[in-house]
Amino acid sequence: MKEQSLDKPTVESGVKWFVIVNPISGSGRGLDHFPQISKLLRDNDIRCEAVFTEHKCHATELTVFAVEQGYRHIIVVGGDGTLHEVVNGLFIQKRVAPSEVTVAVISVGTGNDWIRMYGIPTRYAESVRAIREGYSFLQDVGEVEYEESQYAQKRYMANVAGVGFDPSVTKIYEHYKALGRRGRHLYAQGSVKSFFKYHSTGVKVWVDGELVHSNLLFSIAIGIGKYNGGGTRQLPLAVADDGLFDITLYRPMHWWQILFRLRRLFNGDIYSIGHVSHHRGRHIRIESTPDIMLEVDGELLGTTPLEFKIMHRAVRVIVTKEFLDD
| Domain extent listing, the chain | 2-140+315-325, 141-312
CATH code for residues 141-312: 2.60.200.40
pLDDT (average), residues 3-17: 74
State residue 55's pLDDT score.
95
> Is residue 7 over pLDDT 60?
no
Please give the pLDDT value at position 167: 85
Among 9-18, 233-242, 283-292, the least confident range? 9-18
The predicted model scores a pTM of: 0.90
Which pLDDT does position 219 carry in this prediction?
Answer: 94
% residues pLDDT > 70 (the chain):
88
* In the chain, % of residues over pLDDT 90: 69
Residue-wise burial string across 24-44, b where 16 or more C-beta atoms lie within 10 A, e elsewhere: bbbeebbbebbeebbebbeee
How many angstroms separate the CA atoms of 161 and 296, rounded?
4
pLDDT score of 169:
82
**302 closest CA partner among 136, 171, 126:** 171
When mean pLDDT is compared over 158-172, 176-190, 297-311, the highest value belongs to 297-311
Across 137-154, average pLDDT:
95
* pLDDT in the model for residue 150: 85
More confident residue, 300 or 169: 300
Angle between helices 185-195 and 165-178 (to 10 degrees): 130
| Terminal Cα-to-Cα distance of the chain (whole angstroms) | 8
Q: Are 300 and 170 in contact (CB under 8 A)?
A: yes
Q: What is the pLDDT of residue 1?
A: 45
Average pLDDT, the chain: 89
What architecture does CATH give domain 2-140+315-325? Answer: 3-Layer(aba) Sandwich (3.40)
